[in-house]
């Protein structure tokens, strides 16, 4: 019979993991990292957001975000955007404006849907789910999860982002 080790939230918050891990219901949850398409898309998204930041928002990669205080849950989106002003803190405790969860080859649909649900329940209004392997894009908000057939996502804060263009850059690098 398998046993589960419960880790106190205080221990999670003071511990560094390599790679960092999420915290769900007292358990450490591994994140899928390391694939070059995933990593490169994460970089391209951050680069696209950077010139748009100005005085309106900040962009973070792999930042711990508290999505629920009770029971304590912490997720680590690939990219997140916080609206300014936002006081610096080691772990984001106020909901970001947007999180981006890039699909990895090893991600299961149920696990990704659970992450998306956590983000939405935690008050994050916009979740984008790009898949650089299948070249798809989905977005989620309080109205539900839906595909973006034109591969474009937009919020009032970050503006319009064309994932077809980003996927094209990935394809050119793969040659």
Check which CATH number belongs to the domain holding 87 and give it: 3.90.1570.10
pLDDT at 172: 86
- Tell me, yes or no, whether 52 lies in a domain: yes
- Tell me, yes or no, whether 118 lies in a domain: yes
| More confident: 174 or 169 | 169
Residue 9 to residues 20, 92, 95, 115: CA-CA distances in angstroms?
Answer: 14, 15, 19, 18
- Tell me, yes or no, whether 82 lies in a domain: yes
Residue 37 pLDDT > 60: yes
List phi, psi (to 5°) of 46.
-60, -40
- Tell me, yes or no, whether 150 lies in a domain: yes
Note the pLDDT tens digit of each residue in 83-107. Answer: 999 999 999 999 999 999 999 998 9
pLDDT at 28: 94
Cβ neighbours for 109, distance < 8 A, ≥ 6 positions apart:
none
Burial tier of 51 (Cβ tally within 10 Å: 0-12, 13-18, 19+): exposed
Q: Domain residues for 42?
A: 33-174
Note the pLDDT tens digit of each residue in 15-36. Answer: 999 889 999 999 999 987 768 8
- Tell me, yes or no, whether 140 lies in a domain: yes
pLDDT at 94: 96
pLDDT at 62: 95
- What is the 8-class DSSP label of residue 62? S
pLDDT at 59: 97
Residue 3 pLDDT > 60: no
- Tell me, yes or no, whether 11 lies in a domain: no
Give the chain's domain count.
1
pLDDT at 175: 63
């Amino acid at each position: 019979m398998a046993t589960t080790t419960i880790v106190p939230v205080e221990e999670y918050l003071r511990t560094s993991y390599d790679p960092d891990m999420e915290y769900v219901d007292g358990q450490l949850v591994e994140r899928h990292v390391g694939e070059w398409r995933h990593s490169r898309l994460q970089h391209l998204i951050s680069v696209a957001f950077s010139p748009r930041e100005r005085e309106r928002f900040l962009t973070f990669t792999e930042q711990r975000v508290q999505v629920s205080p009770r029971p304590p849950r912490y997720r680590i989106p690939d990219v997140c955007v916080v609206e300014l002003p936002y006081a610096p803190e080691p772990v984001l405790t106020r909901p970001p404006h947007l999180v981006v969860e890039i699909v990895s080859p090893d991600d299961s649909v149920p696990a990704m849907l659970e992450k998306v649900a956590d983000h939405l329940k935690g008050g994050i209004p916009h979740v984008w789910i790009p898949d650089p392997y299948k070249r798809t894009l989905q977005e989620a908000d309080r109205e539900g999860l839906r595909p973006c057939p034109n591969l474009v996502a937009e919020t009032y804060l970050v503006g319009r982002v064309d994932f077809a263009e980003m996927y094209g850059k990935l394809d050119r690098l793969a040659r």
